[in-house]
Amino acid sequence: MYAEERRRQIASLTAVEGRVNVTDLSKRFNVTAETIRRDLAVLDHEGAVHRVHGGAVASQNFQTTELTVDARAKSALSAKNAIARAAMDYVPDATGGMFLDAGTTISALAEQIAQHSLARKWTIVTNCLPIAMQMASDGVEEVQLLGGYVRAITQAVVGDTALRTLALMRADVAFIGTNALTLDHGLSTADSQEAAVKRAMIINSRKVVVLCDASKMGCDYMVSFAGINDIDVVITDAAAPQSFVDALRERGVEVVLAG
């Protein structure tokens, strides 16, 4: 595991548990205590956690910084691919339709969908420019890209045109990505326009499947676009804190641990 991925998981675990200690983290990630101390120092400097004697406690600040698509694509790559494979169990029947949100984990799912034998029969609607272009080039015939403005940093289409189009549509399933997931604030992201499109996809679909690697659990961004009660399924990876998984299941959410 790369240091960056380990630190993201430490930040998530701290956010979920409230407090972590060096000894437990050292055993969990099979690294030295000194390595964990360096990780906590970096996370403290970034504002992701607050260092205390013997460990760290959660930072309660909302996050506002967005990473570029290229930067996010390199993060937690193995987890995202495992999540995408697991998500294929929730694609609709041959005549069904689905919404694909923008995001790097959703992009990994799009690659899986394009390789499926039913890919030419599904109707797919997305607000992600790279997903639409890639699926079209892969021979998926029924791909609709929503109209509107393209946000450069995420390459997602947003705005009133996209929202008006979604209001007229219904999908069997919406595959949704998120920047963060907490029990209180639900799914959240940094941009209100992207949040509005995500929310519209959720409202206009029969089932909502959230693709969320463990590093995003316990994190929080300014704009919430769905509560826990709006979610049917969360697909995450094996690094997800068990207490968080249990809490989601207690609220009636199906949780799948990929890989």
Given 58, 78, 104, the domain boundary residue is: 58
Digit-coded pLDDT (tens) for 179-215: 999 888 899 998 999 999 999 999 999 999 999 998 8
Residue 1 confidence (pLDDT): 66
Q: Is residue 63 part of a domain?
A: no
Residue 62 has pLDDT above 70, yes or no: no
Give the count of alpha carbons within 13 A of 195, CB side only. 16
Residue 146 has pLDDT above 60, yes or no: yes
Verdict on whether the full-model pTM lies above 0.85: no
Residue 91 has pLDDT above 90, yes or no: yes
Are 74 and 147 within 8 A, CB to CB?
A: no
Verify that 148 and 53 share a domain, yes or no: no
Q: In the chain, what percentage of residues exceed pLDDT 70?
A: 93
Average pLDDT, integer, range 24-42: 93
- 121 CB-contact burial (10 Å; exposed 0-12 / middle 13-18 / buried 19+): middle
Average pLDDT, integer, range 20-33: 92
Verify that 178 and 114 share a domain, yes or no: yes
The CATH number linked to 145 is 3.40.50.1360
Q: Is residue 64 part of a domain?
A: no
Q: Is residue 148 part of a domain?
A: yes
Q: List helix spans (H) across the chain.
A: 3-17, 22-29, 33-46, 69-73, 77-87, 104-114, 129-137, 160-167, 192-203, 242-250
Verify that 37 and 97 share a domain, yes or no: no
Residue 73 has pLDDT above 60, yes or no: no
Residue 236 has pLDDT above 60, yes or no: yes
Distance of CA 110 to the CA centre of its chain: 14
Q: Which domain holds residue 223?
A: 69-258
Residue 75 confidence (pLDDT): 62
Residue 67 confidence (pLDDT): 60
Indicate the average pLDDT of the chain: 89
Where is average pLDDT lowest: 38-47, 68-77, 113-122?
68-77
Residue 76 confidence (pLDDT): 67
3-state secondary structure of 235: strand
Residue 63 confidence (pLDDT): 59
Q: Is residue 254 part of a domain?
A: yes
